[in-house]
Structure 1
Amino acid sequence: MKMLASAQNRVPHISLLRCGLAAAALSIAAISPAQTLRNEFLNPPAAARPMVRWWWFGAAVTKPEILNELQQMKQDGIGGAELAFVYPEVLDDPAKGVKNLPFLSKEMLEAVTYAQAEGRKLGLRIDVTLCSGWPYGGPDTTLEEASTRLKVLEFALPPGQNEPPMVKLQDGDVILSKVVVPGEPKHWHVGPVDPAGPRTGLIFVQSHTRQQVKRAAVGAEGYVLDPFSKQAVATHLAKVGEPLVKAFGATPPYAIFSDSLEAYGADWTPRLPEEFKKRRGYDLIPHLPELAAGGTPAAEKVRHDYGRTLTELVDENYLTQINDWAKAHGTKFRSQTYGEPAVSLASQRLVALPEGEGPQWRAFSTLRWATSANHLFGNNVTSGETFTWLHSPVFRATPLDMKAEADIDFIMGENQLIFHGWPYSPPASQLTPGDPGWSLYAAAVFNDHNPWHPVMPAVTEYITRISALLRQGQPANQVAILLPTDDAWAQFAPGKATITGIMTKLLPPDLIPTILSAGYNFDFTDADTINRLGIHHQILVIPPTDRIPTETAKKIAAYAAAGGKVIAVGHLPRLTAEGAPLTTSTDEMALIPDAASLAKALPNAAAPDLQWKGTDDATKNVLGFIRRKLPNADIYFVANTSNAALDTQVSFNTTRKYAQQIDPDSTASIPASASNQALHLAPYESRIFLFSDAKPGTTPGAPHPASGMWISTEPTRQLSDLAADWHVTFPTLNKSIAEPTLTDWTADPATKNYSGEAIYTKDFTLTSTPKTPVFLEVEGGHALPGNPTTNPEHPALLPNGLPDPRVTRPGPGMHAFYEGPIREAALVVINGQQAGALWHPPYRLDVTKFLKPGQNKIEIHVYNTALNAWAGIPPHDYKPLIEKYGDRFQMQDLQKVQTIPSGILGKIHLVTQ
């Protein structure tokens, strides 16, 4: 039997906000700063809600389904949607009302107008991607304005031939120069030519990458534009940007969006020789052999100047032009400013909303790249493309997977999650029973085709609360890492023109893990930013760096003279940005031999924000935190990023007098201490510590600080053993069974391929209700082999925080390495009242107020993933689609579409302390 049960309307969505409690607190006129923060935590603003990338496939959309999905987003606690127009999923099917609307057609733009209008009525923020697929480009991008590359042709020259042969060029190619160099092809060098020795003829060609826009909608096919070209970008804004923004009418989109810069191989532009000479003062063309060869100081100078020029061109002609255009159209430019072409960290100052992605918190990450820029440039909100590749294949990701990644994003500074994503998926998309509908080829799915979707409001509420909290005050990371951008430029070469790509090789692999494990959090900075803004962190760490601008070296010296701490790793900078010997004094820099030595050098410079007592290295490698500083309060968000429970003591670097420990889920709190604070975290559990100058909870009517907080060190007393004798109903199957022992659904052939809801029901009796808090607890769950990590290719860490090469994970992405006792999430109803959600460790709810003396009834509504039903149907045949539109996408990891355990697999207890 193959089925996908509808997850909608089984149980009303459960809100975890304590509405009456919050209303009472908000009615207080004069409350302490700590209480104000708590009230904002209980009632986070709508702007802090997560958004979704809303994929329109085809774009085969209709107004009724657009409205239905917008209403579902609102119900789920989603704060808005980014319109993203991508490849078709199916052929036109008039019988099912499916029609692919060509990109920018009148019908498609009318759908955009309708979506943004209805979204605004619901209070949703609506952004729009200013293209179809990615990167920018399409049918209006001619070959002349398409992304350009420098092509180097090599020919072995026979005796007597003194120049390269004639070659046939592709359309649009232009020969820039011809040169003869000594040596054989692939082994030549720059220098005097020996006519009797081996010689190579070089032809440097201004060519095109001919890259096509990836994942384009119908009618959006075409070249990727030249991001260094002012005219190419202007053409795109006129042909694509204008009609899209005009479709929003008098209410422009909140933001226009540019995805990660993936103009692969874009390392040239027709105006580069002219711009290079104007900016650098000499002609680039005669130095193309040095640019291609590298290996000498002269070549490194050319490469550096070439890289810097490319960065300036993309800054001016892409970023600045689009940002100015956005402002002129009443909107903001949200940009993932990394990748190819050659943007720098300082480039992010040119866009209104820098955005990142990637949960690599113990390695170089473009999310950290973006959060750092926002911290440096004064932007309080950092958005992130979140859950890309989360637990592939599609529909496999669970709420626990979401929390595992979200918490990592939070400790890196993200406070606006943009889920990747929400597939537009009408009922007609489910071709057969068990078909979960449309989805992107590789991403998590967060629409209501996912069986566990009824738990989504609980997940978004958690995310909204933390997002709002991490917007309070100012960022307080202690350490700044000076990125060696000038060294990166000096390594540029044809086909190798990406700062973020090179940076992963320039930073020692143990640099970031050592800083984090020592109890510090950090931001990146770069020379251009220091020259503009100075240094405002307690400690500046300079990784092994050769080149540094003279102005930057002077700024660092002044910072150190004013009391700032500077630690250079490996060796001191020795060259100016241009490659001349550095004459500025570096005496103010403390030099250590390697990154591992930071563990001792950092505490000598400043006490860490978080200290562990008697904790092994493994715990330090998985306990993450971020701090926000207010005039009269400090906020710490602390997360266990691992699949094992943590039990330790921590001390916080704060002088505030009063402290609270807050459970992000229940919002309950208990008094805490800044020193030697016991910290008990379940796998993937998180906690908030709030330190303030005013005593919390002393105002009349304020929430009771000790309400419902679980203290894991205190002994528990079982009130009722609920482990056995449950009645289980599968609503869409009209199937009910008695389970003396809780059993995996897939053990029964009738429910092996069942995806949906099962309702577990049981009556129990209490002779009385205790005065202490009572918890429903589902015992069980176990860690999977290895530990989760933020390195996308390794699910395990060595004790030094580096990836364990013995344990590998195929492909990118991450997920929680933990199988809970509930597969995968549940809503609890006690005596007809909604008691809360169970979706991550510890699988425990405070149910005190729902119980009564005598007989009680409990219902646990359990939801699994769509994989089980999907695994029971034949694979979809995409051949007709490919024949019509080409091979625009490849579904990932379909071999992993298999049934997985489902239901309640642990023991259920009712306990008190």
Structure 2
Amino acid sequence: MMKNVFYWLVSISLFTLISTCQAESDTNMLRKNFMIPPDSARPGVYWYFMDGNLSKEGMTKDLESMKKVGIGSVVFLEVNVGIPRGKVDFLSEEWKDCFKHAVQECERLGISMILGIGPGWTGSGGPWVKAEESMQSLVSSVTHVTGKGKQTVSLTKPDPMPPYFGEGAFTPELKERWQAFYKDVAVLAFPKTDEKTFIKDIHEKALYYRAPYSSVPGVKQFLSRDNDDLSLNSGDVIHLDKIVDLTGSLVDGTVTWDVPAGEWTIMRVGVRNNGAVTRPAPLPGVGFECDKADTTALMAHLRVFTEELFSLLGERDTLLPGGLKILHMDSWEMGAQNWTPKLRQEFKKRRGYDPQPYYPVYAGYIVGDKQTSERFLWDLRQTMQELMLENHSLFVKAYAHKHGMKLSIEPYDMNPMQDLELGASADIPMCEFWSIGGYNTSFSAVEGSSLANIKGQRVVPSEAFTAAGDGWKQHPASMKDQTDWAFAAGINRLTFHTFQHQALRDDLRPGMTMGPYGVHWDRNQTWWPYVDGYHRYIARCQYLLQKGQTVADVLYLAPEEAPFVFRAPVSALEGDFLIDKKGHNFDACPPSLLYNASVENGKIKFPSGMQYSLLVLPVFETMTPRLLDKIKSLVEDGATLVGIPPLYAPGLTDYPVCDQVLSTMITDLWGGKDLPAGLVKRTYGKGQVYWGQDIRDKADNLYPNYPLTSGLLDQMKLGDDFRSDIGKIRYIHKKVNEQDFYFVSNRTRDLLNTVCHFRVTGKQPQLWNPVNGEIRNLPAFTDDGTCTSVDLSFEPNQSFFVVFDGKPQPDLGVKNFSLSKEIQKLDKSWQVSFDPKWGGPANVEFKELQDWSQCPDEGIKYYSGTAVYCQSFNYSQSLQKPVYLDLGQVKNIAKVWLNGKDLGVIWTNPWEVEITDALKKGNNELRIEVTNLWVNRLIGDELKQDDGIVDGQWPEWLINGKERPSKRYTFATFRHYTKESPLLESGLLGPVRIVVKE
């Protein structure tokens, strides 16, 4: 017995030792890779090519410049936006040779490539897509007859529905094909009705149109039902038993029918192309979008596009860090479709009844009653969603896997499905956010990060800083706050929109643009040689954020609706454009993923390990018995549910039995349908249900408001995961094994000193600074057994990680942050050198620091680029303490040398760099390179002759390689400014000081 106990104790000791060593090893690896982040943590770019304007030489220069400044991935897309056509036609042999070169260069440089699955960014299609394999709509025409016995009736061929983006997107040949395609589906006759369309929003509900949710006002988050039959008369509806199927009688557009007495409507039903074309595609790539619900149509497209490219590339080494790695479906902008050749048989199989008698509902007629018609429309949308997921996104995913790749999807913006369901079908759900002033797509970040969390996908990429009319105004410092917002929102791989491929010669700068769009993240930026300071910051943040599993308390379940955009309760958020979560983090869950959940220790848990304390239902009228049965089982196993019961099942499948089944389940789980006053707790199995009138009365974006859910979490002894005494600090909480870390960010442009409270105990807080890689303990903190409170100080828009690791060693007598004390001001004159190639003086003396744009010398006033500031100064103070150079105000980025030592790039607050090791007593030589933006030089050039693009054509001097006729310094393919546009502050504005920390 004693021998067994001894072995048991030894085993426990060894296990503890191994676990401790492993934990220390993990921590050391985190530290090492935080300070010098791996290439996999680097940001990416959308690498856009513009309708034939591409060259292998330019590709190599683009990619080498990316590698040099720390870009790790590219999304390869060719489009056509506001630029003259180039000479290399899309998919020509020369184009394919260029593409192969790009892939090989990515392999050589270790840059991963993500390839869109079609021309443009819309979806999957091209001129090779046949009309019968394109996206289709069910259309109809009606002819009225009066019963007179046997009649031969000529039926009008139904017209196509107008394309959402109009007919201007068609080429002449494509328009002809669009008009010509038609196939009959059915002919139905029924007693004439009042000819009114009673179903509200029928064009959306029947999937003819889905407008862009993010950019068109009034687009609905989901489609509300109209079940009110009180206003209907018997003659307003089509009765199922009165519908006559005349399909078999249709010959050459006519039917011969023995018409019964009375007035009748004969409906000719057929299919047309829905007008969706690849956009904005290079001209040789303009064509129909392929059918999104049919694998035959999709494969026909892929054979022409991706298969040819794969064949061109030959066998690839999929283990290489660079090269073609991912197929990509960008934002869904081809709209809706409501027909596919196999729809009727698939509908019967999936919904259990024949949809044909309900085809008049497509046109707004009411069949049976409003509730019946609305249920049919729900069944139609669900069936189309299932088909598009199975036969498009999931098929492309399997296809990508077959070729050793993965699939990423941006699951919005004209998506006729549920965003969350489309995103869940991807290997890598992706989101998008626009630069401040653009469209507010913050909901996309919630959707993308939620799906990644639930699925266990550690990387959450986002199309980042999409912009319109930016005009080279943004730069790393101006983007810092929104960068931090993205990280706190759950995004951890920024993919900048956009790196425009530069096919022009190098002296023509800033060069190629995507018309007015993009943040101009390319090698022709003035500050491009210095941007790796910012990219290194991003990589440090992304490395840690990709390693950890997110901590969240609340799981919001989406309703079984399509289309559906998840919007979190407004009360759970703060801010306007940059919307941050409050103290309890949350995720959104599509119905399909909830079936993977179980309960462990009272929490909803997914196979990924992600877990939540509350499951919150939408305040929604419908739910399928299958989904409610899953919810019941989770509560029975110990989950805590917050929500009120639905009223009825959504579709016609097994109707009305489905409603009776649902009602029985509701009585079992909630005890009945009648809501009790206030908020009531009910025990069911091992779990609890919170429900009542308070939830309905205080519903916020479909869900119980934040005070209600946070109050319940408080009762469960789960206080805020994070809070600051003065607010104004955003956060996200991650865990790696037993190590907790928070990313925290000052949302303001003010200096802030505050106490921050973290829901972590028994560990030592550390500060990890992603700007410079510094790691140090935070000695001033308290631990009350429920949270750790830490004194923190933030510069404007400053951010860092607070990492909890190791045995706590508080020391309240030591400050966490030192104050800066000026010991010397560098206020002598500066020798400044501008680049004469860009119009500036080679040497000039600044008696004091000044804004270039206010200088009377036009060479400085309109200068864009880098100027070098030099000053000699004498230093006589002690060299013992850490000493810093504080640059004050900089427009817009700087690099510092002291006594010949490169001290790095300064791009954000605090605008300082440690100079202790480079500083010496006596004379010191300081050199500061300062770079501003393109704006001022572009404005100055508007005073000169315009020799650029005219009427969509490249200028003759450029085509023929001749000297420019004007004396302009810049050349751009889009005009952002006039000579009256305001100039921007530029240069080193200071004051420049030497400071120490006390």
Fold conserved (TM > 0.5)?
A: yes
CA distance in 2, matches of 1:711, 1:181: 81
- 1:590-739 matches, cutoff 5 A: 590-591=690-691, 592-593=694-695, 594=698, 595-598=705-708, 599-608=710-719, 610-615=721-726, 619=728, 623-672=729-778, 673=781, 675-693=788-806, 714-723=818-827, 725-732=829-836, 733-739=840-846
Contact map agreement 2:830 2:847 (CA 8 A) in 1: yes
CA distance in 1, matches of 2:450, 2:23: 35
1:308 aligned to 2:401?
no
In the alignment, what sits opposite 2:493?
A: 416
- One-letter amino acid of the counterpart of residue 372, structure 1: S
Shift of 1:442: 0.7
In the alignment, what sits opposite 1:278?
A: 349
User: What CA RMSD, in Å, does the superposition of the two structures yield over aligned residues?
Assistant: 3.8
Q: Which residue, 320, 323, 327 being the options, matches 1:256?
A: 327
Q: Which residue, 375, 383, 386 being the options, matches 2:453?
A: 375
- One-letter amino acid of the counterpart of residue 255, structure 1: I
- One-letter amino acid of the counterpart of residue 235, structure 2: V
In the alignment, what sits opposite 1:24?
A: none
Contact map agreement 1:731 1:758 (CA 8 A) in 2: yes
CA distance in 2, matches of 1:314, 1:335: 13
- One-letter amino acid of the counterpart of residue 50, structure 1: P
Shift of 1:77: 0.8
Shift of 1:551: 3.5
Change (3 A) 1:181 1:235: same
Q: Secondary structure, in 3 states, of the residue corresponding to 1:419?
A: strand
CA distance in 1, matches of 2:399, 2:115: 14
State percent identity of aligned pairs.
24
Change (3 A) 1:173 1:36: same
In the alignment, what sits opposite 1:773?
A: 882
- One-letter amino acid of the counterpart of residue 469, structure 1: L
CA distance in 2, matches of 1:574, 1:897: 59
Q: Secondary structure, in 3 states, of the residue corresponding to 1:589?
A: strand
Contact map agreement 2:143 2:156 (CA 8 A) in 1: no
1:105 aligned to 2:92?
yes
Change (3 A) 1:422 1:360: closer
Change (3 A) 1:439 1:677: same
In the alignment, what sits opposite 2:182?
A: 173
CA distance in 2, matches of 1:517, 1:168: 50
Greater Cα shift, 853-862 or 355-364: 355-364
Q: 1:251-303, CA deviations, whole angstroms, 9 ceiling, x for partnerless residues?
A: 26211222112112333323322221221011223224445648943233222
In the alignment, what sits opposite 1:510?
A: 571
Shift of 1:401: 3.6
In the alignment, what sits opposite 1:192?
A: 234
CA distance in 2, matches of 1:237, 1:68: 30
- 1:224-263 matches, cutoff 5 A: 224-251=289-316, 253-263=324-334
Q: Secondary structure, in 3 states, of the residue corresponding to 1:193?
A: helix
In the alignment, what sits opposite 2:115?
A: 128
CA distance in 2, matches of 1:757, 1:152: 65
- One-letter amino acid of the counterpart of residue 908, structure 1: V
CA distance in 2, matches of 1:85, 1:194: 51
- 1:332-481 matches, cutoff 5 A: 332-339=406-413, 340-358=415-433, 365-389=443-467, 392-428=469-505, 436-439=511-514, 441-481=516-556
1:116 aligned to 2:103?
yes
CA distance in 2, matches of 1:291, 1:234: 29
1:575 aligned to 2:648?
yes
Q: 1:141-176, CA deviations, whole angstroms, 9 ceiling, x for partnerless residues?
A: 12222222344668999999x999735634223455
Q: 1:315-364, CA deviations, whole angstroms, 9 ceiling, x for partnerless residues?
A: 11111221121122222222223332425524434332222212699986
Contact map agreement 1:206 1:270 (CA 8 A) in 2: no
In the alignment, what sits opposite 1:786?
A: none
CA distance in 2, matches of 1:53, 1:530: 33
CA distance in 2, matches of 1:308, 1:659: 49
CA distance in 1, matches of 2:626, 2:476: 49
1:903 aligned to 2:987?
yes
Contact map agreement 1:472 1:630 (CA 8 A) in 2: yes
Contact map agreement 2:141 2:158 (CA 8 A) in 1: no
CA distance in 2, matches of 1:540, 1:360: 33
Bigger RCO of structures 1 and 2 (CA < 8 A, at least 6 apart): 1
Contact map agreement 1:521 1:625 (CA 8 A) in 2: no
Q: Which residue, 618, 627, 633 being the options, matches 1:552?
A: 627
1:148 aligned to 2:248?
no
Q: Which residue, 30, 40, 44 being the options, matches 1:37?
A: 30
Q: Which has the larger radius of gyration?
A: 2
Shift of 1:193: 1.9
Change (3 A) 1:540 1:217: same
Structure 1 unaligned runs (5+)?
1-27, 93-98, 490-497, 698-704, 780-820, 884-888
CA distance in 1, matches of 2:474, 2:337: 35
CA distance in 1, matches of 2:901, 2:500: 32
Q: 1:813-864, CA deviations, whole angstroms, 9 ceiling, x for partnerless residues?
A: xxxxxxxx32221112222112122222222222222212222222221111
In the alignment, what sits opposite 1:809?
A: none
Change (3 A) 1:152 1:468: farther
Shift of 1:105: 1.4
In the alignment, what sits opposite 1:838?
A: 906
CA distance in 2, matches of 1:679, 1:200: 75
Contact map agreement 1:184 1:200 (CA 8 A) in 2: no
Greater Cα shift, 145-154 or 62-71: 145-154
Change (3 A) 1:613 1:231: closer
CA distance in 1, matches of 2:155, 2:751: 68
Contact map agreement 1:82 1:128 (CA 8 A) in 2: yes
Q: Which residue, 526, 529, 532 being the options, matches 2:596?
A: 532
Change (3 A) 1:865 1:158: farther
Change (3 A) 1:768 1:647: closer
Change (3 A) 1:769 1:190: farther
In the alignment, what sits opposite 1:329?
A: 403
Q: Secondary structure, in 3 states, of the residue corresponding to 1:40?
A: helix
1:72 aligned to 2:136?
no
Change (3 A) 1:181 1:912: farther
Change (3 A) 1:279 1:560: closer
Contact map agreement 2:841 2:859 (CA 8 A) in 1: no
Change (3 A) 1:384 1:878: farther
Q: Which residue, 951, 962, 973 being the options, matches 1:879?
A: 951
1:48 aligned to 2:41?
yes
Q: 1:474-509, CA deviations, whole angstroms, 9 ceiling, x for partnerless residues?
A: 22222211112x2x33xxxxxxxx333xx45xx554
CA distance in 2, matches of 1:755, 1:56: 26
CA distance in 2, matches of 1:302, 1:168: 22
Contact map agreement 1:146 1:226 (CA 8 A) in 2: yes
Shift of 1:239: 0.6
Shift of 1:525: 0.5
Change (3 A) 1:460 1:141: same
Shift of 1:463: 0.9
Q: TM-score with structure 1 length normalisation?
A: 0.80
Contact map agreement 2:537 2:772 (CA 8 A) in 1: no
- One-letter amino acid of the counterpart of residue 193, structure 1: G
Contact map agreement 2:187 2:266 (CA 8 A) in 1: no
Structure 2 unaligned runs (5+)?
1-20, 160-178, 200-230, 238-261, 319-323, 599-603, 606-611, 652-657, 671-681, 683-687, 699-704, 782-786, 956-971
CA distance in 1, matches of 2:140, 2:107: 52
Q: Secondary structure, in 3 states, of the residue corresponding to 1:499?
A: coil
In the alignment, what sits opposite 1:813?
A: none
Q: TM-score with structure 2 length normalisation?
A: 0.73
In the alignment, what sits opposite 2:679?
A: none
